[in-house]
Structure formats: structure tokens, C-alpha cells
Chains A and B, each alone.
Chain A
Amino acid sequence: MTELKNKKHTNVQAALSIAAGALLGTGAVSEQAKAQSFDDWKIDSAFLFYSEADRVSAAEAIISATKLYDNDEILNLKFTADTLTGASANGAIVQPQAQTFTRPSGIGQYITQAGETPLDDTFKDTRVQLNAQWTQPIAENYTGSVGGHLSKEYDYLSLGINANLAVDFYKKNSTLSFGFSHFQDTFTPEGGIPKPHASMLIGDSDSPTWDEAFSATRIANSDDKQTTDLLLGFTQVINRRMITQFNYSYSKVQGYLTDPFKIVSVLDSQGVAQDYIYEQRPNKRNKQSSFAQTKYHFPASLANSILDLSYRYMWDDWQIKSHTLDTRLYIPVADIFGENSYIQPHVRFYQQGAAEFYQPYTSTEDIQQEPLKYVSADYRIGEMTAITLGAKYGFNLDNGNDFSIRLEYYQQTPTNAGFEEPSALSTLTVYPIVQAVILQVSYSFL
């Protein structure tokens, strides 16, 4: 009898909890919206410095402004500017003797010393990017979003649009989302678009016949590329401490996918470079990826830390396959460094297989035997592993402003995907490691 009574009363209390929760809108979407309810613009700003040992450095700044309107409409405007300088691998293979290359513009030459990886040191670019995104509820449990993108650099223009629809169900514990984006890019490289497989012209660029000979290796001033992405996502709240997401995405890229600055060494049977030809990639690429992410909020006994774990498997019709494992642990450290501060270690592991047309070099023999169709010696589509190790430290000020600093180390280790190495290369580093440091400072304010 008493038990029955107790049960009834427990229900009054619990039912009131539900009713209060419903009234105060502690539901999924509305809570998120209300938790960041603000009348003024919220500004997120960040400055990032990226520097590779002996290669490129980049500086990038982002200012992102978000405004939440009363009816849960969200406007986000983002401005990005970056600048890149330094040297980048041109694709040619290391040699036991010095090598001379012509700059992409056709004006002037540069020399790579014996035993060093050929790097083109003329890279210099500045880019500005603008993004605008509008998100709003469309109907009960339906949220729509549309956005635009513009990116301009000295030799490149990219225009993009995107749209997204999210549907919540099961008390907003599950969300299904569909996304679409399309990018239209135009590339106008300095020196024009090189003719695939044409030999890089090397010699005296002041000679009267140079210009004519150089333009014979060019086929156009510019070319373009279209990218269409489809994204299907599913988010599920597991329990009070855990949320997961699964995405499948399909990306279709068409047009000029070749890198006009990249060449491939043509070696003789001993491994000595005889020629350098411009690379060529297919004009289509279909990429697919599966992505899973989970976040787990540990209890107070584990410092209320939050684990963020994600994995991506990507595969495409260039036969590239990659695995990406990314993990972050958010640890509040209020007792050590003062109120509302945290540290967040980050580890990322990446491994990719080579594209089917990737080869570190080609040979005079191969060129004579069968005409090449697609070839690239760009290590970025070769086999490699990469690791990122880093940590972020941040603190929230009383007024909701937020400051953080992030330092990371990134290392790429290209590996041999089974290509044999001619004798001339045996003592040389054919697959050099690339090391970079990333430093980021962020500040968010209302």
C-alpha cells in the first residue's frame, strides 16, 4: 500500500520535471539556441601561423561573426585572409648532382643542390575568402540552412553555394541531415596551363627564341574545376553523457585537377634525370567518405573532461584510400590555472595510399614503350602517414569572452608504395619527411 502511494507521488514530482523541461525549452535545438542567445554579434577571431621546416610558411586570420535572431534564425559571416610564402616540392626526384629548373612563370631558373629535394621557392600567394551562412527553422523539427562562398587569390577564384536540411525526431535525440554544395573554381596560374607531358624548357630565358619555345609548352591561360558534394548525416544522442554522429559523403570533382606547377623526373636506367615532364591527372575524381564521431562527457570524478573521438575512411576512383583518426580530450583545469580554464591535448593520425597514377619518377624506357596517360609525382597523392600532436589551452572570462592558444606539431612521412629505386638514388632521401609547427591564437567576444 505504501509502495503504491510512493510511486504515485514520485510521479507527481517527475511529471513536473518533464513539464518544467518542456516549458523552459530544454529540448535539443532550442536549448542550444538559447544557450547562446545574444542580441549582439558574437565574434570569433583567430590567427594561425603555420611553418614547415625549410619549406612554406603560412599565416591565416579568421573573423567569424554570428548573430542569433529571436526566432532562432542564425546569420554567420566569415572573413578569412591568408598569405603563403616559401618553397614547395615541385615533384622532381632528388639527384646525386645539382638540378636546374625553370620557374613556373617561365622567367628565370632555380638550382637544387645535389642530394636535396627539389623545391620551387617562388611560392607566394595571398588569399581572401568570404562566407555567409543563413540558418533557420523551417517547420517544427526542420532546420534549413543556405550559404555562399567566395575565395580569391592572385591566380585562383572559387565561388560556392551550399544548402542543408536537418530533421529532428525522437524528442530531438536523433537528427538526420542532408547537405549539398557546389563549387566553381577558375585557375589562372602564372605562366599559363602547361601542356601535359611536355618537357620543362630549361635554358637561357633571355634568348630571343625563349618565349616562343616556352609558349609551345603551354595550352591555355586558365582552366576550371567544378566540385559537387552530397552529405548525408545522422546524429544520435546516446545518453546524458554521449552523442554520436555518422556521415556519408560523396564528392564529384570535374575539370582541371592537375597541378600546373608539378613535374615528374624522367630517369635513365641508372637513375639519372634526363628530362622533366609536366604532370597530368584525370579530369574527374569521385570521392566518398564515411565519418563517425563520438563525444563523451566524463563525470566529475574524471574532472568533467570531454573526449572527442572521430574516424574517417575516404576512398576514390583514383584508388586513393585514407584513414584519419582524430582525438581530443577537453580537460577543465580550474583548480590549477584559475577559474574556467582548460587544456585540450590533440592527437591525429592519418594514413593514405597512393593514387594509381602516382609514381615518384618515370623512365626514358617507359616513355618510349607506352605513352603515359596520367602521371604525377606529387607526394601529396602518394603513400604517406602523418601525425599531429598538439595541445590547446584556453580560458573563459566572466563576461563570456573566450581566449585560447593552440600549439601543434605536424609531421608527414611519405613512404615508398613499392617503386624500385635506381642505383643513383640508393644513398639519397627519396621520400623526405615534412615537419611543421602550427600556432594559433583565438579570441571570442560578444
Chain B
Amino acid sequence: MPTNKMLLTHLIRGTKQGCRILLALFLFSGLSACANLGVEPWERDLLATKEMALNASPVDAALDDHIYFSKEASSGGKSFGGGGCGCN
């Protein structure tokens, strides 16, 4: 379907005018049998952020693991407990 679009120009203005939230809402209930668990692909907006990742800060986790591995009798659980250093 060939569609030549209108030309647009954009005005960037810093106005604080009353605003309408223009987003369409996804009205979609009774989607699947398991509708109460899990999401559809387009509902992953929040889950896809890096802060929502289960291991959001792998470097912090590695440093913490090292501290607690050397100071306590437990290790691992979240990922491999492992050996790795003579600190224990």
C-alpha cells in the first residue's frame, strides 16, 4: 500500500500546558488460560529494564559473594558457590 506521508515539522517548546495521556490502553482480558501468571510480550516494558533483572548488578554480587564466602560458612545459592580462593 504505497503511502506518501505528510511532511512534518517539530516545534520544541518548554510549555507546561495541560496534557492528555494519549496512550491507548491494552484492553485485553481473558487472554489465555494462564492469564493470571506471566505476561504477553508487549507487557514486558517494566521487566525489560535492567534494574528489574534478577541479577541487576553482577559486579556488586561478585564482590559481596567474595566477602561473605570468606567470612561466613555459607556460599552460593543464587549462583555457584564454588571454590575459587583461599580466603576461607
Contacts and interface: CB of A to CB of B under 8 A. Distances in A.
Question: Do these two chains really belong together in a complex?
Answer: yes
Interface of A: 10, 13-14, 17-18, 20-22, 26-28, 31-32, 35-36, 44-46, 48, 50, 60, 62, 64, 78, 80, 82, 84, 125, 127, 129, 149, 151, 153, 155-156, 158, 160, 162, 170-174, 179, 181, 183-185, 187, 225, 227, 229, 231, 235-241, 243, 245, 247, 249, 251, 253, 259, 287, 289-291, 293, 295, 297, 306, 308, 310, 312, 314, 320, 322, 324, 330, 342, 350, 352, 355, 380-381, 384, 386, 392, 406, 410, 412, 434, 438, 440, 442
Interface string B70-88: 0111101111111111111
17 contacts: A18-B40, A21-B41, A21-B42, A32-B48, A45-B59, A125-B86, A173-B37, A173-B39, A227-B81, A236-B37, A236-B38, A249-B77, A251-B76, A253-B83, A293-B54, A297-B49, A352-B72
Given A320-B74, A355-B73, A386-B72, A249 B81 contact: yes
Contacts of A187: 86
B59 A27 contact: no
Interface in B1-56: 24, 26-28, 34, 36-54, 56
B72 A27 contact: no
Contact of A297 (B52, B68, B71, B86): B52
Q: Tell me whether chain A's interface is mostly helix, strand or loop, or mixed.
A: strand
Looking at chain B's contact residues, the main secondary structure is loop
Contact of B34 (A36, A170, A235, A440): A170
Q: Top 3 nearest A-B pairs by Cβ distance?
A: A156-B86, A173-B38, A21-B42
A155 B86 contact: yes
A261 B28 CA distance: 65
Contact of B46 (A14, A21, A162, A241): A241
B78 A322 contact: no
A127 B84 CA distance: 11
A229 B24 contact: no
B63 A35 contact: no
B81 A251 contact: yes
Contact of B86 (A62, A153, A410): A153
A309 B87 CA distance: 28
B83 A314 contact: no
Interface of B: 24, 26-28, 34, 36-54, 56-60, 62-63, 66-68, 71-74, 76-88
Nearest to A248: B77
A35 B85 contact: no
A249 B51 CA distance: 25
Given A249-B76, A384-B72, 8 more contacts: A14-B26, A17-B42, A153-B85, A235-B54, A239-B36, A249-B81, A287-B76, A381-B73
A352 B72 CA distance: 8
A175 to B, nearest CB: 10
Contacts of A185: 83-84, 86
Contact of A243 (B36, B52, B82): B52
A98 to B, nearest CB: 27
Contacts of A440: 60, 63
A129 B84 contact: yes
A62 B63 contact: yes
A372 to B, nearest CB: 20
A253 B44 CA distance: 40
Contacts of A36: 50
A293 B78 CA distance: 8
A90 to B, nearest CB: 15
B65 to A, nearest CB: 11
B45 A240 contact: yes
Contacts of B28: 14, 17
A160 B41 contact: no
Contacts of B34: 170
